Copies of this chain bind each other. A is one copy, B any other.
Amino acid sequence: MGVSKSTGTQSGTKSSTQGVRSETVRRSNLSAILGMLRTAASVTRSELVEATGLTRSAVGSLIGELVEHGLVTEIGAQHDGHRGRPSAMAELDGAGLAALSFEIGVDGVAAAVVNLRGEVIDDARASRTRGPVPVEAKVDDLVTLANLLGYVDGAVGDRRIVGIGVAVAGTVTSDGQTVVMAPNLQWSDVQLADLVSARFGDGVAVTIGNDADVGALAEHRFGAGDGASDMIFVGGEIGIGGGIIVDGQRVHGRSGFAGEVGHMPVNPSGDVCGCGSIGCWETEVGERALLRRAGLDEDGGNAAVQRLLLAAQQGDAMVLDAFAEHGGWMAIGLACLINVFDPEIVVMGGMFNDVWHHVEDVVTSDLARTSFGGRARPGVVVAGRLGNSARLIGAAELAFQPLLDNPVSA
């Protein structure tokens, strides 16, 4: 084949002023292979050779190193009827590893043990009456849940916990250490990573993420977003948040605050929003707006929304009307996002995950009219596949990230 083959395509390296060395090459290739093994159930070596553009020997060496570190196992080849020696299958191992993930919301907290495949091995939830809760109390709750899940000394059962990820309904600095503002919890400038770290020991790294951002991460890697390179996730309950994936990477913004889609101004003659602006999308498509449209108490919370969903399923005309109006406003914000990003897919999570079924028709037909050049063909906006677990799975991904970037660090 010779050099003329040269793997074509883009360089695979990002333009930057940082130099690259041979260690970087190894790390990058290990990471690429591990990444492929994570999404597919099992991959043959020859598939890896083709996908990476590397040679058989290089792939062999890389897999050997991953096996050595207990991240990958090789299983017998499958004779698939093709000619020639069958290729050995490589599979993600990671049976001895897991991430511990937490979710801090206004209604309570949740915790899960998640494996490298993004599967929830065990989880636990604790509800509290909605409202602001001091940080210390929330962290106490986390510790309680972790104990419930059997977390002892950096491990759960025979799985070593490689890191702790926390999803919070608030803005988080891009270093994943500090909660800058969580309006519904009434937190501001909380060094959450340090507080959690203090309770779980120094051996385990703690990373925080905005709940919509981590939801996006989860749906992108294991859910409805699958292998899309450009994706938008819209989630939330009272407050509406968004997670944006461009070219396979989360968009952070200047300081980690990107994705505040709930505060896109969509209605100049709308209500005053908690943020001080007027007619934010959140005031039109948030939980309170939905309840108001259905003639219920705005503060009814998730329980009221569930009753509404039941009524809709039973064909209650007034409730269906409320959903239709709600869908109209949802479409307006979605048109904005779609026209600006031209995403491959928009995933509706959080409250919208439940509601989607009842608004899909309205939203889709509105978007056909309002998206530029009709780019929002049906199927661009979909409901999330991970439902309530999305945030926990995404938070676990935060914890796994260092391992994924540098699989054989130690």
Contact = CB atoms under 8 A, between A and B. Distances in A.
Nearest to A228: B254
Contacts of A77: none
Report the interface size class on chain A. 35 or more
Interface string A44-69: 00000001111000100000000000
Interface stretch (A144-152, A198-206, A243-251): A243-251
A369 interface: yes
Which of A258, A371, A404 has the largest count of B CB atoms less than 10 A from its CB?
Answer: A258
A339 interface: yes
A301 to B, nearest CB: 24
A342 B255 contact: yes
B339 A264 contact: yes
Among A257, A260, A269, find the residue whose CB has the most chain B CB atoms closer than 10 A: A260
Given A21-B54, A263-B372, A258 B340 contact: yes
Contact of A247 (B12, B249, B266): B249
Contact of A53 (B18, B53, B257, B332): B18
Given A276-B369, A332-B265, A19 B7 contact: yes
A85 interface: no
A358 interface: no
Given A254-B342, A261-B339, A52 B18 contact: yes
A339 to B, nearest CB: 4
A10 interface: yes
14 contacts: A6-B23, A11-B27, A14-B249, A15-B35, A16-B32, A17-B35, A24-B25, A25-B25, A230-B252, A230-B258, A256-B342, A264-B340, A265-B266, A277-B370
